[in-house]
């Protein structure tokens, strides 16, 4: 399965939809490049929708950490939401839930981002 992403920008925040499988470092190059553009446009609050992300490994976790770092360095935040059971377990096992803000829905994510 292929990894895909879609970014919907709204003023100072964006909803980033991830889908497929994020298992190789190179798959996320376009995503990371696009988020650089968001930062340049002062869009630094990101709700990251993981509902359609079926699987990820350590490369996928690294990508999420890179997104969080970019947002925070730019003075913003990244919130993960709508994770399936496997992704949620991976986030818990790696204790990344202590690093990320996590929400159940898009509405909850946007509240955490204060938008």
pLDDT computed for residue 11 by the predictor: 83
Name the β-bridge partners of 8: 15
Quickly tell me which residue has 């929708």 as its tokens: 49
pLDDT computed for residue 82 by the predictor: 98
Q: What is the CATH number of domain 4-108?
A: 3.30.750.24
pLDDT computed for residue 62 by the predictor: 96
pLDDT computed for residue 12 by the predictor: 86
- Give the pTM: 0.95
3-state secondary structure of 94: coil
pLDDT computed for residue 14 by the predictor: 98
3-state secondary structure of 109: helix
CA dist 89 and 97 (Å) reads 10
Q: Which of 57, 105, 63, 58 is nearest to 80 (CA)?
A: 105
Q: What is the mean pLDDT of each run of 10 residues along the chain (115 residues)?
A: 94 95 94 97 97 96 97 97 96 95 97 95
DSSP β-ladder status, 101-103 and 4-10:
unpaired
Kindly tell me the sign of the dihedral angle through the C-alpha atoms of 24, 52, 31, 69. Answer: negative
Domain ranges of the chain: 4-108
Q: Distances in Å between the alpha carbon of 65 and those of 1, 44, 77, 80, 107? A: 22, 15, 12, 11, 22
């Amino acid at each position: 399965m292929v990894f895909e992403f879609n970014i919907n920008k709204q003023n100072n925040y964006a909803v980033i939809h991830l889908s497929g499988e994020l298992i190789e470092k190179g798959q996320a190059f376009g995503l990371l490049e696009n988020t650089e553009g968001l930062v340049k446009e002062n869009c630094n609050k990101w709700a990251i929708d993981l509902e359609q992300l079926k699987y990820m490994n350590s490369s996928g976790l690294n990508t999420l950490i890179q997104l969080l770092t970019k947002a925070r360095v730019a003075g913003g935040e990244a919130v993960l939401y709508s994770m399936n059971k496997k992704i949620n377990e991976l986030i818990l096992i790696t204790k990344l839930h202590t690093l990320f803000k996590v929400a159940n829905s898009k509405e909850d994510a946007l509240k955490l981002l204060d938008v």
